[in-house]
Structure 1
Amino acid sequence: MAAFFKGSKSKSKAKDDSNGYTKQIRLLSVLLFIVSLFLFIALISYSFEDESTIQMESSAIVGLVTGDEIAQIKAESVQNWLGIVGAYISYYIYNKTFGFIAILIPFILFRWGYDLLKHSTITKPNLRDTLFYLLGALVFSGLMGTIFSLDWISPFPKEWAGSIGLYLSFMLTNLLGSIGSFLIFFIGLVTFIIFGFKLNTEKLYEGTLAIFDSAKDKMLEKTESIKDSAINVINRDKAEVEGEESPITEKKKKASNSKNKLDINDPEYLKLSNKEKEELLIRKVAEAENPTEEYYTRKSVTLSRDSDMIEDQEIDIEKKADLEMTLNLNQDDKSESTSSVNSDFVRAANPVTINDLDDEPDSPICTYIHDEKIDYTPPGLDLLEQNYDVVEVSEAELKMNAEILREKLETFNITIENLSVTPGPVVTQYEFVPAAGIKISKIENLSDDLAMALKAKGIRIIAPIPGKGTVGIEIPNSNPSMVSFTSVVNTKKYRESNQYLPLALGKTISGEAFIADLAKMPHLLIAGSTGSGKSVGINTIIASLLYQKMPDELKFVIIDPKKVELTQYSALSNHFMACSPDVKDIIITDPEDAVSVLKSLVLEMEERYTILSNVGQRNIVDYNAKVKEGKLDGDTSMKHRHMPYIVCVIDELADLMLTASKEIETPIIRLAQMARAVGIHLILATQRPSVNVITGIIKANFPARIGYLVASKIDSRTILDMSGSESLLGNGDLLYLSPGTPKPIRVQNSYISTDEIERICEHIQNQKGYSMPYQLPSTILKNRQSANDYDSSDRDDLFEEAGRMIIDSQNCSVSMLQRKLKVGYARAGKIVDELENAGVVGPHNGSKPRDVYMESLSEFDAIL
């Protein structure tokens, strides 16, 4: 009996132990569920901005419990959903383990908890999956660490790799190099994915081949379709030439013939589009020359020209500038020309409202187009975005930064007094008076220490502030506010500005609108790295001028080598654009065209100076005032009109200097030195502010400069003559150095979107403009006029032979003449100079051959 009771007691004890073990397992599983949930919440709410907060000293952590105000403010700024504890956990898991791949750790713990709850043990499949995860995490973090060290993707957070990934990458890179390490980790990751997920490699290979075959078939189909379309177009054009027009074509011809009969003064003429008016003009010009012969064809018309012009030149109706140059030539030479267009037709063809019987000589510049009457309405604020959010700096942030600043300066034995705060949209200025005996240089050297203490991207110390006996420290706001273009142009300061060329650059640190006058600068140099806001700043400058000026007051010359940044302004061609007859495009993208346009601007400058000199005026402001008052109406030498300002914008100077440095630099220097008085102003922008781009002579003639974020202090000194731009924040944060000021002003550039620019351009384009863009003088025409004035009595005996040889080959160089004519270098150079003076070839073009202006020997015979 005793044995029986003893056995039953042992069984009961074993059962109790089993129940206790089961309860412990279940409790552990529930604990794993809770831990996995908390880890998951902490990891998915990880924020990079919490890194500065969690690096608190032990005293600050104790301050969270004791109620320290600064510690509590720091804790409140944590963005993690689990507060400062969650920020600590997520930071150390991501940075000290496998990186972002560690997001799978909560799922593994959850599966462990599920196994313990259901099976009271961790199953083999679960252990196998955990092992696979560890291997995959090692390979993935190592691959990310290699990418981080190669710096292929910038910026690339180190949290993608973690400490383990960076260490593995470091070891393997030392053994196999960067590329070898990348290949090992990449192949390992692909292998892990294939075998870990049990992918069918055969199907994967076949699927990849199928994708390539499908793309190849689509490309072949598209090629065949394009080929068939081209054949159809060729056949249709051939049928039209042979007279086999369709009924639709016949209708078009009848409509065209009815338009041919319209007179310039006919009311129906005004209803035609600009292109139809241009075609009608060409038909009438052709009929005036030979009414019995049909000059006008479907695409082009040929006009005969006198000996000063190229013979048999075909004028495309789409090339408006060529037509205008021809008409201007005919107007100038109407008394001598026998085969050119009748001057009455030229006058009637131009819709400018002027007195045809007036014998008064016209202006040498293209101001006569402004005699046309247009109804122009400037763009309104309704074209701009209105719903930009304005974020104000909190009082708590201002107090915290002020306290940290005071404490940090005291650690370096710098006592401050009268601390004041000026909050701005992006940065806040903390202004104070240092105690007696404190050197300013000592404060200036603390910028890096203060930036680390304030956890700021970069701070700027102004010691001292010009005009004050104080020191200013600019600290970025944790939540910067965007400065919209609307908020600047809608201010009273901009609307009531009496400046000649007001630029709405943005807002200062105090939040006030900053308006600068380009006419007083008088030229502007802009530099900043890629992504710093330079192109947006140029758009802001152009838009602010469009909002203030009328088409007869301002013209733009835009050079955009990047071909994509400023192309939308071509819509303003007949309102605000100036162009050269030597160049086809309104927006200049080719470096050679840029050289031609800049040379045309130099000629425009010289013509304007001639006009001002003849009437005894010193600058464009005085001249326009005299024209407005009518005090120049008595001048019989020419007809005086309001002279518009011309702003030349070059978006990427470095690219132009790389391809044609000497040819670009010479006209830029001439314009920068002299063009201010006649209303021509330059805006140069570059993303590479090096001394071989911004040369010393260019820099000396551009006293007004804007520096965006640059890479180094050297670049900052190149653009501003001082450091500071390297510590800017980007996204439109700039330093503006005005002429005659010792220190630059910090401004947050106003933001204008591409959609807003397009709406402004569309608004202007939809209004009636002038019949053509503002025409700059032609450099080619100028050379031909010089050739007419050239004395041919002292030409070299080989002049004619050399000229014919050059025109036949369309190539000119001194070495070629030496070879072909068997003469010395000095004589060959003299012959080339004579050909240049005669207008046969262009000026010296650096290492490139000279341009040959004459295309036929008949032109050359005319000057012999």
Structure 2
Amino acid sequence: MARKKSDRKPKSIGEAVGFRNIFSNEKTDFLLGLILLLIAIYVIIAMVSYFSTGQDDQSILESLRHGEWINSNRSITNYCGSIGAIVAYTLMSVNFGLPAFIIPAFIVLVGLKLMSIYTINLWKWFFGMMLTMIWCSITFAKFLTPVMGNLFFNPGGNHGLFCVQQLENIVGAPGLIVILLFTALAFLTYLSAETIFIIRKAMNPVKYLTSKVKFTVTNHEIDTADSEHNAAADNNEETEDSNTINQGLPEDFPAPVVDLTDFGNIDKDTLPANAAPTLSVTNNSEPQTANDNRLTVEIAKNEEKAGSAVVNLEDILSTPIDPLEPFTKYKKPTLELLKKYDEEDKPNVDMEEIKANNARIVEVLNSFGVSIREIKATVGPTITLYEITPAEGVRISKIRNLEDDIALSLSALGIRIIAPIPGKGTIGIEVPNKRPQIVSMESILNSKKFKETKMELPLALGKTITNEVFMVDLAKIPHLLVAGATGQGKSVGLNAIITSLLYKKHPNELKFVLVDPKKVEFSVYHKISGHFMACLPENEEEPIITDVTKVVRTLNSLCALMDHRYDLLKMAGAKNLKEYNAKFVNHKLDLTKGHDYMPYIVVIIDEFGDLIMTAGKEIELPIARIAQLARAVGIHMVIATQRPTTKIITGNIKANFPGRMAFRVSSQIDSRTILDRSGANQLVGRGDLLFLNGNEPVRVQCAFVDTPEIEHINDYISEEPGPIEPMELPEPIEDNSGGSIGDGATDISSLDPYFEEAAHAIVLSQQGSTSMIQRRFSIGYNRAGRLMDQLEHMGIVGTAQGSKPREVLIQDENQLNALIMQLRNRQA
């Protein structure tokens, strides 16, 4: 049974070495690490001093060891005093000898770990250094004692001498040598499989000298004037080669395949089509003489399969690239970090409540002349669905109009009628339970559905009315719009989205861009910024973006990254990120052209309404562009807002965000804005939501994950091996359309009063001429000409082309509004 860790402390001193501790302060960890580091240095100095002073202090130290005190004028001469002498004598003479230096070395590693200078696995180092010290102590006592006989203490210490005596009494001197040799080779094999190859090579060097494959490439000048003659000669040579290729080889010998791109000194592009190099394979001891433009391959007579540790060129190209390198030892968070509620294991079915609601629904329907044939109840964690099969001739609209009457009869917080239920010949009435059940994140992530999912970006959101785990793939949505009034579970929903992705993806596979205008919602994720964040280089210290100006630069940077990724996909001949990464992993891309493994990027923006009010169209433009194009290159967006009004969620945004996640909102208008229908205003709150990604919304109880759980997850991830800095986004491309801003007439107050109206008219009609402005605004020709010059100066229209209309450089109003907003900000 999994042990609960709901009371797990954050990162502490004890956790740094694998145990719990009462300390939880980073400063305490650092100071204790510094103390251990200084103690280790002190011990090392004392042990070094023991080589020169130990012999003089020997009698005093031996007396102290046997509990005797000597009244003498002699004093300890060790550089580190009596304590240093005792420590050095105990470690080197009494115990392990020269290998005892490993002990202060390990204390140094512990100190550096506590000071967060290095991230290492202390348990692995502890067992490795302990075994090394014991082995060296025995080996030194056996073999160095005769060589260093003049040393006043045994090189392996009393521990090594005792072990040597006991083992030799049991197995003798040869047996002791066998044990030492076997343990050394076993330990080296555990550290690296290359040990096996070295041993095989040392024991059979002839095999590895005769099994080499020698590639000889000869280049000769090609006379293009005799191309026909060369082509005929090549055809003859190919026929001969095809006849000799099987001579002297076993029947099951695989036919060699040679790719000319593997040889750097052959340029295929420079060779004529009729002068392609030919291949010759022989089984003779001497290589076959190569004619012009021929590739000769010599293979040894008795070819044998290479050892398991030998990797040749073909093996490398046939072995897929591991996209998780160099962090292959990264372990995803465990379920023990999440809370498990006892009430989840108990069925929350109140039969009396269900029977009472059933009777009231039937009574209300009968009182209004609506007869039904059957009623069925399905109990969910927070909602019970009553499915009604109406009698023949009953209009659906009649039942739908009784929504308020049924709610009054049931004394319910709010009900929702689904008429009809998609795929069924029934009408649904959703009634809130009087005792709702908590849906924990642990119960969702611990489900078989989540563990075995093949989704690229699985979002485990909660449970449906039928108690089924509800999951969607963000990669297929591909963008999600979240709305909900304050306190209805919107922030918990965003945390559930992030948590489900953290439990499923590796740092090399996923990066987050978090935008938090409130500055407190996403601050808990700062610990994993190195593992899972992406930001501009200037924001590395604060990768979670809270400044509006940085939001605009980051979104423009994502647009630049999107364009760059599309260029790479075009070169690779891939349609989407999944195909591209598959080609990269299977060595089908040329790394010299800038190809690299692409992680998914999930952009999560909280309080989008605040950003729109602050920056307006300047933010909406890059968001709309990313939403329209970024799906294929693995960039997906999740936008959340409290008030889903048409000024905040414009038609341009709604058109490109097919996924909708609506918590309870304050009005039916808001529900229609987010879902294009009512229903979100009838939810009961506390994580109750409607998810829309198709025809009909699905009612889901969102999984609950609180702040302590998130902190435990982030502490766990921060301790795992991974990137130490966020992924760098490219510098945003500056908009050259407003390149004249800052010179001359860039002050909006100095422009013509008709400037904005004229600019909008030209952009809408996509026609720019002085006569059109003169007619449109009933102004003189000179003023219309000056106005057209200002539009040209601001980069809205192009230069004059005689009698032809000017070219309109701005294609839509969003870009124009961003330019005008930039002018106003300059003036402010």
TM-score bracket for the superposition, by shorter chain length: 0.5 to 0.7
Distance 1:783 1:452, change over 3 A: closer
Letter of the structure 2 residue corresponding to residue 647 of structure 1: V
Letter of the structure 2 residue corresponding to residue 625 of structure 1: A
Partner of 1:681: 636
Partner of 2:363: 407
Deviation (angstroms), 1:432? 1.8
| Cα separation, 1, equivalents of 2:823 and 2:325 | 42
Partner of 1:847: 821
The DSSP-based 3-state class of the residue aligned with 2:393 is coil
Letter of the structure 2 residue corresponding to residue 847 of structure 1: M
Please say if residues 561 and 655 of structure 1, whose CA atoms lie closer than 8 Å, have aligned partners that are also in contact.
Answer: yes
| Cα separation, 2, equivalents of 1:503 and 1:375 | 24
Distance 1:773 1:406, change over 3 A: same
Letter of the structure 2 residue corresponding to residue 743 of structure 1: E
Partner of 2:685: 730
Q: Tell me whether 1:396 sits opposite 2:370 in the alignment.
A: no
Deviations 1:58-109 (A, max 9, x none): xxxxxxxxxxxxxxxxxxxxxxxxxxxxxxxxxxxxxxxxxxxxxxxxxxxx
Deviations 1:378-436 (A, max 9, x none): 11111001234236021111111111111111111111112111111101111121000
Q: Tell me whether 1:471 sits opposite 2:424 in the alignment.
A: no
The DSSP-based 3-state class of the residue aligned with 1:575 is helix
Distance 1:370 1:399, change over 3 A: closer
Q: Tell me whether 1:381 sits opposite 2:355 in the alignment.
A: no
Q: Tell me whether 1:579 sits opposite 2:535 in the alignment.
A: yes
Please say if residues 515 and 546 of structure 2, whose CA atoms lie closer than 8 Å, have aligned partners that are also in contact.
Answer: yes
| Cα separation, 2, equivalents of 1:412 and 1:697 | 44
Distance 1:392 1:497, change over 3 A: same
Partner of 2:715: 762
Letter of the structure 2 residue corresponding to residue 622 of structure 1: E
Deviation (angstroms), 1:510? 0.7
Distance 1:410 1:506, change over 3 A: same
Distance 1:558 1:407, change over 3 A: same
Q: Tell me whether 1:654 sits opposite 2:609 in the alignment.
A: yes
| Cα separation, 2, equivalents of 1:400 and 1:817 | 72
Please say if residues 388 and 484 of structure 1, whose CA atoms lie closer than 8 Å, have aligned partners that are also in contact.
Answer: no
Gaps of 5+ in 1: 1-247, 255-266, 278-366, 835-841, 853-864
| Cα separation, 1, equivalents of 2:646 and 2:824 | 29
Partner of 2:570: 613
Taking the TM superposition and a 5 Å limit, the aligned residue runs for 1:38-437 are: 372-373=326-327, 375-390=329-344, 392-437=348-393
Please say if residues 517 and 611 of structure 2, whose CA atoms lie closer than 8 Å, have aligned partners that are also in contact.
Answer: yes
Distance 1:636 1:768, change over 3 A: closer
| Cα separation, 1, equivalents of 2:437 and 2:651 | 37
Q: Tell me whether 1:711 sits opposite 2:666 in the alignment.
A: yes
Q: Tell me whether 1:627 sits opposite 2:584 in the alignment.
A: yes
| Cα separation, 1, equivalents of 2:570 and 2:468 | 42
Partner of 2:136: none
Letter of the structure 2 residue corresponding to residue 659 of structure 1: T
Partner of 1:45: none
Deviation (angstroms), 1:812? 6.6
Deviations 1:715-756 (A, max 9, x none): 111100111111100000000011xx3210000001001110
| Cα separation, 2, equivalents of 1:271 and 1:619 | 47
| Cα separation, 2, equivalents of 1:773 and 1:850 | 34
Deviations 1:326-348 (A, max 9, x none): xxxxxxxxxxxxxxxxxxxxxxx
Partner of 1:690: 645
| Cα separation, 2, equivalents of 1:735 and 1:424 | 14
Deviation (angstroms), 1:624? 1.2
Deviations 1:543-584 (A, max 9, x none): 000000000110000001111111111211111100013545
| Cα separation, 1, equivalents of 2:594 and 2:621 | 32
Letter of the structure 2 residue corresponding to residue 375 of structure 1: K
Deviation (angstroms), 1:766? 2.0
Partner of 1:751: 704
Taking the TM superposition and a 5 Å limit, the aligned residue runs for 1:441-840 are: 441-583=397-539, 585-632=542-589, 635=590, 637-738=592-693, 741-779=694-732, 782-783=733-734, 813=747
Please say if residues 460 and 497 of structure 2, whose CA atoms lie closer than 8 Å, have aligned partners that are also in contact.
Answer: yes
Please say if residues 479 and 658 of structure 2, whose CA atoms lie closer than 8 Å, have aligned partners that are also in contact.
Answer: yes
Deviations 1:600-651 (A, max 9, x none): 111111111000011111001111111222222xx26524332110000001
The DSSP-based 3-state class of the residue aligned with 1:404 is helix
Letter of the structure 1 residue corresponding to residue 469 of structure 2: A
| Cα separation, 2, equivalents of 1:662 and 1:476 | 41
Distance 1:832 1:375, change over 3 A: farther
Deviations 1:496-554 (A, max 9, x none): 01111111100000111111111111000011111110000000000000000000110
| Cα separation, 1, equivalents of 2:428 and 2:751 | 68
Deviations 1:276-333 (A, max 9, x none): 79xxxxxxxxxxxxxxxxxxxxxxxxxxxxxxxxxxxxxxxxxxxxxxxxxxxxxxxx
Letter of the structure 2 residue corresponding to residue 443 of structure 1: I
| Cα separation, 2, equivalents of 1:667 and 1:611 | 21
| Cα separation, 2, equivalents of 1:376 and 1:720 | 40
Q: Percent identity?
A: 47
Distance 1:459 1:580, change over 3 A: same
| Cα separation, 1, equivalents of 2:824 and 2:511 | 31
Query: How does the TM-score come out when normalised to structure 1?
Result: 0.50
Please say if residues 449 and 469 of structure 2, whose CA atoms lie closer than 8 Å, have aligned partners that are also in contact.
Answer: yes
| Cα separation, 1, equivalents of 2:116 and 2:571 | 38
| Cα separation, 1, equivalents of 2:520 and 2:493 | 15
Distance 1:578 1:691, change over 3 A: same
Letter of the structure 2 residue corresponding to residue 420 of structure 1: K
Gaps of 5+ in 2: 1-34, 42-105, 119-320, 753-784, 797-814
Deviation (angstroms), 1:450? 0.3
CA RMSD of aligned residues (A): 3.7
Question: What number of residue pairs does the alignment pair up?
Answer: 468
Deviations 1:446-480 (A, max 9, x none): 11100110111111111100001111111111111
Distance 1:729 1:523, change over 3 A: same
| Cα separation, 1, equivalents of 2:324 and 2:463 | 35
| Cα separation, 2, equivalents of 1:752 and 1:269 | 36
| Cα separation, 2, equivalents of 1:406 and 1:537 | 36
Letter of the structure 1 residue corresponding to residue 730 of structure 2: P
Query: How does the TM-score come out when normalised to structure 2?
Result: 0.52
Distance 1:630 1:406, change over 3 A: same
The DSSP-based 3-state class of the residue aligned with 1:378 is coil
Please say if residues 710 and 716 of structure 1, whose CA atoms lie closer than 8 Å, have aligned partners that are also in contact.
Answer: yes
Distance 1:439 1:580, change over 3 A: same
The DSSP-based 3-state class of the residue aligned with 1:748 is strand
Partner of 1:325: none
| Cα separation, 1, equivalents of 2:323 and 2:820 | 36
Letter of the structure 2 residue corresponding to residue 451 of structure 1: A
Deviation (angstroms), 1:830? 5.8
Letter of the structure 1 residue corresponding to residue 366 of structure 2: E
Deviation (angstroms), 1:768? 3.0
| Cα separation, 2, equivalents of 1:763 and 1:650 | 25
Please say if residues 374 and 770 of structure 1, whose CA atoms lie closer than 8 Å, have aligned partners that are also in contact.
Answer: no
Please say if residues 483 and 748 of structure 1, whose CA atoms lie closer than 8 Å, have aligned partners that are also in contact.
Answer: yes
Deviations 1:92-147 (A, max 9, x none): xxxxxxxxxxxxxxxxxxxxxxxxxxxxxxxxxxxxxxxxxxxxxxxxxxxxxxxx
Deviations 1:15-72 (A, max 9, x none): xxxxxxxxxxxxxxxxxxxxxxxxxxxxxxxxxxxxxxxxxxxxxxxxxxxxxxxxxx
The DSSP-based 3-state class of the residue aligned with 1:689 is coil
Deviation (angstroms), 1:815? 6.4
| Cα separation, 2, equivalents of 1:424 and 1:833 | 59
Letter of the structure 2 residue corresponding to residue 737 of structure 1: L
